[in-house]
Amino acid sequence: MENNGEAVYKKILIPVSRTTNMKYIMEFVNHFLHEGGKITFLHVTVSNTIPISPGEWRRALNAISTTHMLKGEGSMQVYYAVKNSSSIVTGILDEAWSEGYDLILFANSTYRRHLNHLFGNKIDEVICNSPIETAVISYRDDMPLKYGRILIPISGYKHALRAIKMAELLAKKYGSEITVMYVGTEKDDPRQVITPVTSDLKGNGLKHRAIFRTGPVVETILAEAEKNYDLIAIGATERQQPYNFVTGSTADRLIKKSSCPVLMIKTTSSAQ
């Protein structure tokens, strides 16, 4: 991602594992893609046989069948790939590393969440081992993504940098109001965490407010999200506790339970 005031990516990898409607994802990706940038829809088959069997090939084609008719906006380049690997996670990481992508984006439809159709532990493993930035966006097939009110839960300024930058792009385009939320204990001084974020938003002339809540992290975020927010944007780093914020099961719980779409961005130390 370039750090020139605009959070843009040049090459985005989107793993797909089943048929799904991703027309809204194309619009979403376009907000953060560099002019003339490339996105690739990737399906990984797990097989020790080369070439893969006809049945595995049919499943691969079925997985990308709802994406192959999508067209990029403007100069966006759209590609489709099938990769054979020893595991889904290995296939995704090998593709991301070897082809020079700067973002892995997982897209999940929220209407499928009650069927446990999230990537689950595979997403966790990619997040933990990815050499590049990784994001997860939940969405609803029956409702376009909106950005009027964006909630950004934070635990530290650096943890939220990518979420803030992406929210800023959306806010500038859609006139969004951003709510910065810190969940802590009664002994915490939320100003130490909140002030750097609100100062950044104020400096960019964006509508915003800040709130401090105590309680269980996930449940407290979800309770606030019920108040007619359009998007939750959360950031995470690869640092160990107590510095990391949302990883693994916490992210899955937010994606599964949130009443509105969730965007989680996992950056790397080199991108800080």
Could you tell me which of 154, 144, 134, 158 has the C-alpha nearest to residue 232? 154
The answer to whether residues 202 and 258 belong to one domain is yes
Domain assignment present for 4: no
Does residue 144 fall inside a structural domain? no
Position 268 scores a pLDDT of 73
In a domain, 110, yes or no: yes
Tens-level pLDDT at each residue, the chain (272 residues): 444 446 579 999 998 876 555 677 788 888 888 888 999 988 888 876 666 667 776 766 666 666 655 555 667 888 888 888 888 899 999 999 999 999 999 887 765 444 444 455 677 788 878 889 998 888 877 778 899 999 999 876 666 788 888 999 999 999 999 999 999 888 888 888 899 899 999 999 999 999 999 999 889 999 999 999 999 998 875 444 433 334 446 666 787 788 889 998 888 755 54
Q: Give the strand order in the sheet containing 177-184.
A: 77-85, 33-46, 9-15, 103-109, 133-139, 262-266, 231-236, 149-154, 177-184, 207-214
Considering the domain architecture, whether residues 92 and 195 belong to the same structural domain is answered as no
Q: What is the CATH number of the domain that holds 24?
A: 3.40.50.620
- The pLDDT score that the predictor gives to residue 48 is 67
Last residue of a domain, one of 114, 139, 164: 139
Residue 229 CA to residue 245 CA, distance in Å, equals 21
Domain of residue 113, residue span: 9-139
**Is 3 within a domain?**
no
Q: Tell me whether residue 202 is exposed, middle or buried, using C-beta atoms within 10 angstroms of its C-beta: 0 to 12, 13 to 18, 19 or more.
A: exposed
Q: What is the pLDDT of residue 251?
A: 67
Point out the domain boundary residue: 139, 159, 184: 139
Dihedral over Cα of 206, 209, 212, 215: its sign: negative
Domain boundary among 77, 107, 139: 139
* Residue 51 exposed, middle or buried by CB count within 10 Å (0-12, 13-18, 19+): exposed
Distance separating alpha carbons of residues 178 and 148, to the nearest angstrom: 8
Question: Is 1 inside a domain boundary?
Answer: no
On whether the CB atoms of residues 64 and 45 are closer than 8 A, the answer is no
Residues 131 and 153 in one domain: no
Distance CA 167, CA 131 (A): 23
Number of structural domains the chain divides into: 2
According to the model, what pLDDT value does residue 232 have?
Answer: 94
| Residue 40 resides in a domain | yes
Same domain flag for 13 and 133: yes
- Same domain flag for 165 and 133: no
pLDDT digits (tens, 9 = 90+) for 106-144: 887 765 444 444 455 677 788 878 889 998 888 877 778
Q: Are residues 16 and 126 in the same domain?
A: yes
